Every structure is written in C-alpha cells, then in structure tokens.
Amino acid sequence: MCGICGIYGGVVERSLLESMMASMTHRGPDGAGAFVAPGIGLGHRRLSIIDLDSGCQPMSNEDDRLQVVFNGEIYNYIELKAALEKKGHHFKTASDTEVILHGYEEWGEGCLDRFNGMFAFALWDASSQRILLARDHLGIKPLYYFTAGTTLFFASEIKALLRSPECPREVDLASLGDLFTYRYVPSPKTLFKGILKLPPGHLLIAGKEGIAVRRFWTWRPRIITRLREPDAIEQYQQLLEDAIRIQLRSDVPVGLFLSSGIDSGAILAVMARHIPSAIRTFTLGFEGGAETNETDDAHRTAERFGTCHEELIISPSDYRNYYRNYLWDLEEPVGNETAAAFYFVSYLTSQKVKVALTGQGADEPWAGYRRYLGVKLSTSYRRLPAAVRALLKRVVLAMPRSEWMKRGVVSLDEPEVMGRFTKVYSFFSKEMREQLFRQWVKEEVRAEGGEDNSPLGHLQRQVSDLDPLSQMLYIDTRANLPDDLLMVNDKTAMANSLETRVPFLDYRVVEFVESLPPQWKLHGVQGKYLHKKAVEKWLPKEIVYRKKKGFANPINEWLRSGLNDYVNDCLLAPDSSIHRFFDPEYVRWLIKMHTERREEFIRHLYLLISFEMWHRTFMKS
C-alpha cells in the first residue's frame, strides 16, 4: 500500500514531483523514491508490506526500459512469478511490484487480465515513450488525473494534483448535481472541474498520439441456470476461502475490522484456519449508541475464535474534532453519515497492525441492503390499481420522519430501471433539488446535462438484458462501491497509514456471484440467501441470521444535541459557501424541520455539511 504520482509530457520539475509526493506521506511513511527523465517523472511513497528490504520504488526492469510505481497488492504474485520464471524471466526481488514489470514484458497490456489484486499503477515504457496507468477491477485503489495542454498529471490523491499551479480549483457544477442525486460523484468525474478518476477496471495510455482510456475488465454477467444449489454453495465456499487465503499474504501481521455481522465473522473463521497465532480484531462503538452498537456481538464473536480483541468508543466531541480534517482526508464529499467512523476504527487498528481485512463488499453483489427488496416488489406494486397506488403514496409522503419509506414508495412507482435506481438513491428528490439550488446553479447543471442524463446509464446498458435486480446489483458494485464506500475505506485507512483489504471483492468471487440466479441472492424477503447458507460452514446460525446492524451510529441525535451548534455554524455562517450555491432559507427550513423532529433530514444535512467542509478545505484554502 502506497501513494503514487507522476507527470508525463513537457518539462518535469523534480521539485513539483517531490511536493506531490510529500502531500501523501501518510500513504507511505516508510520511504520515498522518484524517477525523472526527459518528459517523465514518477514519484512514490512506500508503506512496506511485502519484501520489506528490497521492494523500493520506482522499480525498473533489467535494462531500465521500464519503470513502475505501484499502489496496492497483486495477491497472486507468487503464482505469476513462478509462471514467468518458467518463461525465462529473472527476478531480483521478492516483491509483487516486480511481477508487474515482468508481466508487462511477457504479456503487454494483457498482463492486467492475469493480475488478481487491488492496484493502481503507472508504468513508463521508454522504448515506446508511452505511459500506462491502470486501476483494479473493482476500483479498490484510487487514481486521479488531469491534463494541462499536453502534460498529464496523475496521483493516488487529489491533494497531490493540487500541488501543481496548473491544476484548477473550481466546482464542477454537473458533478454537484450528481452529488446531490446519488450521494457521491460517479466516475470518471470528481467535484473538482477538470480532475478525473480513472474508472474501475480501466487503463489509460498516454503517448505521442494523445490519451486513450479503455476497459480491460470486460466481464458481462451471464446467469447460470443449470447449477444445483449445493454445488453453488461449495464453489462459493472454495472461491471465498481462496480469496481470503491469498489476501493474508504479507510480511507484517494482518488484523481484521470485526463487526457484529456475518461478513467479517466469516473472514475471521477462515483466517483462524490459516493463522496459527491469535488474530488481532478491532471494533468501533458510539457513545449513546447502545441500540445500534456492534461491540457486544463483536466481542462474543472474537471470544469464539480466541482473538486479541480491542474496541474504541467515540463521542460527539471526537466527531466534531475530526471534522476539521475529515474532508482533507476524504477529498470528495459523500452523503454517507457513517463515513467518518471508518477513520476511528482505522486509527485504532493502525496502532497494532499495518494491514487489516474488512467485510466490505458483500452487500452489493449479494443484495444485502433493503433497497434491493424494492426492486423485487416494484413489479407487483405496479399491478395494483392506480387509485390504490396514489392513496398509498399520499399516506407515506405525509408521514413524518420516514425519509427512506418516502424514497421507497416513489421508486416503486417508477417502471424504468434507471429512473427507479435514481429515485431510490436520491434523498434529495428532483423537487427538493429545485428548491435547494440557486437559480444560476440549476441553469448550469441543466446546461451540462447533470439533471437528465444519468452518469450511470452506461452501466445499465451493459446489462440491460438481465432482470432488474441483477442490473441494480451490477450498477451498485461498479458505482456505489468504488466511488463511495471503497473510496472512504481507502482514504480514512491511509490517513492512518493502514492498508485495508476486501476479500469479498476478489474479482473471481464477484464474477461467480453475478452469474447466480437472482433468487439465490434475494430469496423471498431475505437478502444474501446463498451467501448465508455458505457461511454456515464456518459460523453458528445465531451469528449468520442475526439482525443486520450495519455501521450504524447515533449521529442523528448528536446533530440535535452535541453537534447542533456545529451544524448552525457550518451551514448558516455568513461566509458559508451554502449561500453561493444553495438557497439559505431552504437550508434553514431543513434544519428546523429536522430539529423539531417533524421530518428526517439527517442525510440531507450531513451531505450539506460535507460539501461545506469540502469547499472550505479546498476552495478557500
């Protein structure tokens, strides 16, 4: 796990490259390296995980024709190294980084099809004067870039790009519309105008001919219909266990984020089969969150497997104090009120280990959220008489403090897949956005197509032949995961110099799950049906079928009490950016309705706060 950056084209100033590297010291406190030649500069910050002594970067091949900087892990590097040695390649290190170099020598761009890992890397080929950037299949590792004339700048984090005086600092208004529609900005855009994300499963090649971006992971799900349930369970168990096994490869100890649920519990059970010593596990709790805290259940799971378990309870003051740095770490605001909590569990974990596995990534492919039930119910709902649907809609929309139910009933009535997907996600409905945005913002957003043309439509078109549930799971796995949850995971963990790994997002596991019939994911009203059947091999049923808590926290009550002044100071201060982009009277109304418990606007306010803090951090600094 590291931080990478680089400059291609034009005159490369070493001082700028070193400044970009310095901005990411937290990603790699163990060392730094740079390569500069005419027209190219590569920078690297290292967090030593594999081959601690000789895995320094940038790394070159034998004749120095190739140079690579790499963030992440190639988990199957041992198998690939053996295959390459049989073909005559000689290795000078024991690192997975060198596998990228020899893999490119042997297979060219096709090496990406053989890598199983989480990665973002840049490979300079001096013979062709081209640079190749690549990002892993599911977008676990971030990679940003912008162009200025004929010069390409890229980095693991946006703050490194901002070190360049040529990098713009301007809000992308179409992306602002997307943020307040989907809760995050979908790839390839960011909220910074001109700064792009390399999408998951894509590569970028820059050379004399210009810049070209294309997909290398071209997987399209095809549902398997002739597979028996017991055989599917066995195949899934084997794939998941192998994914966990190879993700335990490390030259430093590996820990685990342990929740009360089955996903991290299943990982722990498999880890215990492969690690003879006591495993370190870590859980986060919240002051005043007795009903939602996972600490007691996680502690019982930890006791079952004899782990060395630690937990941390955080308070409103902890949240308030961290918010000064929250958006500096995250770089992209998201409407995810649990996001800051990942910083604290990462902080706790980083005090003891450098690497931790997490249970993230099982809910999207396996239909683990309640929003997926709405997709299944929508067909039946639309068969009801129009008068009955209209009555139900009026009743639900009139209910106080039922934000998710209101989104649900509105989306159920939507026959078109992308329209339904958008409505189930948008806690700021189209009508609310009309009241929220100032007129000039609405005009700019419409001019750029942000309201009407879904940035996720291309994903839906790739699987338009599948059933609506499979389409939604496919989109979520490639949009919500990398652009929200995985981004938060990476940024908050790396702010603590911690590497996190996600076994459920081994691309082999994802491809298998996406091949299964939808009824094996959402069975009746039970999500993750076959997943739960499979993990019964490792966990008792009381854990497998325990009610899902998620990463809940009492931020709602905190915003009404301990953080209330913070909300007002943040959103209603005279110098707040809210006044420029949003109608302040409408924002006051949102705060009033939520504080008086007449409506549930926690997520709306949290997203507004996140945008304000992001704007203060990057646009006013």
pLDDT of residue 435: 96
pLDDT above 80: residue 548: no
**Per-position DSSP letters for 473-485, written without gaps between them:** HHHHHHTHIIIII
As separate numbers, helices (DSSP H) first and strands (DSSP E) second, the chain gives 29, 19
pLDDT of residue 390: 81
Task: Give the C-alpha separation, 186 to 458, whole Å.
Answer: 12
Cα separations (Å) of 81 from 67, 99, 114, 317?
A: 18, 6, 12, 49
pLDDT tens readout for residues 586-613:
999 998 888 888 888 888 998 999 999 9
Query: Angle at CA 542, nearest 5°, toward 540 and 548?
Result: 120
* Mean pLDDT of all residues in 501-519: 98
Question: Considering the entire predicted model, what is its pTM?
Answer: 0.95
Task: Give the C-alpha separation, 577 to 191, whole Å.
Answer: 14
Q: Is 99 left (phi over 0), alpha (psi -120 to 50) or beta?
A: alpha
Lowest mean pLDDT among 392-396, 441-445, 615-619: 392-396
Sheet holding 254-257, edge to edge: 308-314, 280-286, 254-257, 355-357, 499-501
pLDDT tens readout for residues 326-335:
999 999 999 9
Q: Which residue has the higher pLDDT, 257 or 567?
A: 257
Instruction: Kindly indicate the confidence band of residue 162, based on its pLDDT and cuts at 50, 70 and 90.
Output: very high
pLDDT above 70: residue 372: yes
Task: Give the C-alpha separation, 187 to 200, whole Å.
Answer: 8
pLDDT of residue 518: 96
Hey, is 525 helix, strand or coil?
coil
> What sections of 331-360 are H helices per DSSP?
339-350
pLDDT tens readout for residues 70-102:
999 999 999 999 999 999 999 999 999 999 999
**Nearest residue to 215 (alpha-carbon basis) of 139, 284, 155:** 139
Residue 473: how many other CB atoms lie within 10 Å: 28
Cβ contact 279:271 at 8 Å: yes
pLDDT tens readout for residues 212-232:
999 999 999 999 989 999 999
Mean of pLDDT over the chain: 91
pLDDT above 90: residue 239: yes
Residue 189: how many other CB atoms lie within 10 Å: 20
pLDDT tens readout for residues 165-213:
999 899 999 999 999 999 999 999 999 999 999 999 999 999 999 999 9
Domains and CATH numbers, the chain: 2-170+184-215 (3.60.20.10), 229-362+486-544 (3.40.50.620), 371-478 (no CATH), 554-621 (no CATH)
pLDDT of residue 287: 86
pLDDT above 60: residue 448: no
Cβ contact 265:539 at 8 Å: yes
* Mean pLDDT of all residues in 414-419: 83
Q: Which residue has the higher pLDDT, 392 or 400?
A: 392
* Residue spans of beta strands (DSSP E) within 516-608: 522-523, 526-527
pLDDT of residue 596: 84
Instruction: Kindly indicate the confidence band of residue 451, based on its pLDDT and cuts at 50, 70 and 90.
Output: very low
Instruction: Kindly indicate the confidence band of residue 450, based on its pLDDT and cuts at 50, 70 and 90.
Output: very low
pLDDT of residue 401: 66
pLDDT above 70: residue 621: no
pLDDT tens readout for residues 112-148:
999 999 999 999 999 999 999 999 999 999 999 999 9
Residue with the two structure tokens 């707040």: 576
Non-local (6+) Cβ contacts of 545 within 8 A are 532
- Percentage of residues in the chain having pLDDT higher than 90: 71
pLDDT of residue 393: 80
Reading the block at residue 286, the tokens are 């919240």
pLDDT of residue 567: 78
pLDDT of residue 54: 67
Query: For the chain, how long is the longest CA-to-CA vector?
Result: 75
pLDDT above 70: residue 294: yes
Q: Are strands 144-148 and 130-135 parallel, antiparallel or unpaired?
A: unpaired
Phi, psi (5° rounding) for residue 50?
-120, 140
pLDDT tens readout for residues 420-438:
888 888 889 899 999 999 9
Cβ burial of 156 (10 Å; 0-12, 13-18, 19+) is: buried
